[in-house]
Amino acid sequence: MSFGLRITCTRSTRRGMYHMMRIAPNVLFTPWGNGNGHLMRMIVLARHAESQGASTTIAVADEGEEKLVQQNGISTYRYTHRFIDVDPWMAWADASFVAHAIGSDRLMIRNTSPDIVVSDSRLSMHMAAAMERVPVTAVVQDMDFPGYCYPGRPREQLWAQVEVALKSVFTTHKWVYEYADPRELMQNAGVIVPGIPELEEIPRVVNSEAVFVGPLTGHYQRSRASPTLHQDGTILFYRIVSVDTIDEFIRAFNDILNRAVVATGDPRVTETLAPKLRGTGARVLTLWNTSEEGGASPSCAIIHGGHGTLLHMAQAGVPTIVVPDLSPERYANALKAEMLPSMTAVTSGLHPVDLTWNSQGNQIRVVRHDAVRRALDAFDLTAARSAASALARRLQRYTIGQAWRAIVAESRVPTLHSDSFRSNGDVPDS
């Protein structure tokens, strides 16, 4: 399989080139809502931008994200709205939420005065930046391109619901909605894809314009001289063990728990699981960091199929088993993982018709741990390690410096169909 590097700057503007010449531009990074993979992309990019003399700020949703960003020496800005007890994806189908998000994002722009906004799939930021006339580069996966459908599904229900909410907001503000697909709003700015062509199913109609910059994961913090780590026999379980399935997990992996590291992705889940695994030999962590110099990587990773985690393991040269939940995105990522000789997937019991964003919000796990154990026992780790190491070497062709230059070169003020977006509109007081 060939992994050719392709970075093209087809939409550079004079404004974008101006940013490249600036000594210290002010950059605002806005993740779409929450999620470790989305936030890590912003951290990796912000750290590099800071090393190039930029001043950076990352918007965060809660105290946990704020702490993680600040630990990396980056300033934060707290989103004014909350995601408590609301699935972030479904929140964008709520017209009142979208309207508030647009207003609070405009206020954020005014308070931070960015020269460039780097928006990770944050729909409201594109409208806010258009109204404030600030250049944006969108960091988007294949699912955010117009026309994309998840495997085995028609047009995604989520985006149909988002479209209804957007039309309501547009009508309230007397704006003109002229989009065949609401995801066109995210394409009306500079766009980069944080992945590789072989694992991003960009719709053919826009594929020729896609700018692939490679993975944007925490693994970039490792030395370029040692992209992979020695493997210590550890088996990483990332976000596939829950309180509801802990007994089943212990039964399935009882004989190898002394090799297990259970990473939850959420400090609250870590606090709950740690006592239940005490005395088993398993370690319980919140996040697993393969970027620490001198550290070891797992001999195998069993993950939930998040985009960032999947690419992180590819960069680290770790054989991987993907076990998705009812998330349409993670199911799609599992199918992509099976295209790589260093990875496999367990999707038994999952059917595309059952995969909905509402179900994902419940964190239901359909695949049983005994099925995962059988997959692990059947996985040819020797062949997978060789393939994983080769893949990690190929991915070295992508660098964070190249990604950052593409972001700056692609940045432009979002275009919207209606001139009424130039009006002042409503901005919250706080």
243-252 pLDDT per residue, tens: 889 999 999 9
Q: Which of 72-86, 271-285, 298-312, 320-334 has the lowest mean pLDDT?
A: 72-86
Query: Mean pLDDT throughout 113-136?
Result: 93
Instruction: Supply angle C-alpha 75, 9, 159, rounded to 5.
Output: 70
Looking at residue 161, its pLDDT comes to 85
Query: Which percentage of the chain shows pLDDT scores above 90?
Result: 50
* pLDDT for residue 198: 83
pLDDT value of position 10: 38
Q: How far, in Å, CA of 52 to CA of 143, rounded?
A: 31
Whether domain 224-395 has CATH 3.40.50.2000: yes
What order of strands is seen across the sheet that includes strand 190-192?
A: 75-78, 55-60, 26-31, 116-120, 136-139, 190-192
**Tell me, what's the pLDDT at 244?**
87
Quick check: 291 pLDDT over 80?
Answer: no
Of 79-83, 204-208, 234-238, 244-248, least confident by mean pLDDT is: 204-208
Token pair recorded at residue 177: 């909605």
Taking domain 14-214+398-422, whether its CATH number is 3.40.50.2000 is answered by yes
pLDDT at position 215 is 93
Structure tokens at 168: 């309501």
pLDDT at 151 over 70: yes
What's the confidence (pLDDT) of residue 205?
Answer: 61
Indicate the pTM of the whole model. 0.85
Average pLDDT taken over every residue of the chain? 82
pLDDT at 344: 97
Q: What is the pLDDT of residue 423?
A: 39
Average pLDDT over residues 155-175: 85
- Greater pLDDT, 83 or 353: 353
99 closest CA partner among 179, 181, 189, 171 = 171
Q: Which pLDDT does position 106 carry in this prediction?
A: 95
Q: What is the mean pLDDT of residues 266-288?
A: 91
Better-predicted residue by pLDDT, 363 or 215: 215
82-86, 167-171, 418-422: the lowest-pLDDT one: 418-422
Percent of the chain with pLDDT over 70: 80
Mean pLDDT in residue range 263-284: 92
Q: Which of 40-49, 154-163, 360-369 comes out lowest in average pLDDT? A: 360-369
pLDDT at position 413: 94
Which segment of 139-153, 160-174, 409-423 scores lowest on mean pLDDT? 409-423
Q: Is the pLDDT of residue 376 over 80?
A: yes
Our measurement of the distance from residue 236's CA atom to the centroid of its chain's CA atoms, rounded to an integer in Å, reads 20
52, 147, 218, 224, 403 from 400: Cα distances, Å: 12, 29, 11, 11, 5
Q: Where in the chain is the domain with CATH 3.40.50.2000?
A: 14-214+398-422, 224-395
pLDDT of residue 105: 94
Average pLDDT score over residue span 117-141: 93
Give the pLDDT mean for 5-29.
Answer: 51
Most confident of the ranges 202-206, 241-245, 335-339: 335-339
Give the per-residue pLDDT at 38.
87
User: What pLDDT does residue 235 have?
Assistant: 94
**Whole-number Cα distances in Å, 53 to 46, 336, 408:** 11, 37, 14
What integer pLDDT is reported at residue 64 of this predicted model?
Answer: 84
